[in-house]
Amino acid sequence: LVLCVYLMLDISPIWIGVVFSIVISMNAISIDEKSSIHMLLNSLPYTRKEIVSSKYIVVVLFTCMVAAAIFIVNFIIHRELTIWKDILLMVAIVMTAASFMLPFCYKFKSNYLLIASIVAFGLYLLAVNCFP
């Protein structure tokens, strides 16, 4: 619903997709910090490599879902197709950001990353205002 509202405001779909993809992915990863999840993951026969790779796959899946939603909603609201270059640029930005953020999520707790997220959001607002 929030995605539809942002697309109706004629904000660039690239920035909307980047923010939604990163927020959804980081929310899913922050849920994994709970102790009950750690107990479950440690009791299952998964290697650390499989657990880490699954988190990267989650980022790819959520990004693809957001890109598909933007494509469909933009077509319904504005009656125009989203340019594939824009979608590929959005996916590239999200994957680059995730490649930097996921190692920090493993190293630091979400309490410390909250401050970094606030700073990153401030930089995002600055970038949106400077580069329309």
Residue 5 lies in a domain: no
Q: What is the pLDDT of residues 76-87, one digit of tens each?
A: 887 888 788 888
Q: Which domain holds residue 86?
A: 14-130
What global pTM score does this model have? 0.72
Residue 67 lies in a domain: yes
The mean pLDDT of 12-40, rounded to a whole number, is 77
Q: Does residue 3 contact residue 73 with C-beta atoms inside 8 Å?
A: yes
Residue 9 lies in a domain: no
Residue 91 lies in a domain: yes
Tokens linked to 28: 């899913």
Dihedral of CA atoms 29, 62, 19, 113 in degrees, nearest 10, equals: 10
Residue 81 lies in a domain: yes
Q: What is the pLDDT of residues 85-105, one digit of tens each?
A: 888 998 999 999 888 888 877
Rg (CA), the chain: 16
Residue 4 lies in a domain: no
**Could you give the number of structural domains in the chain?**
1
Q: Does residue 24 contact residue 59 with C-beta atoms inside 8 Å?
A: no
Strands (E), 9-124: none
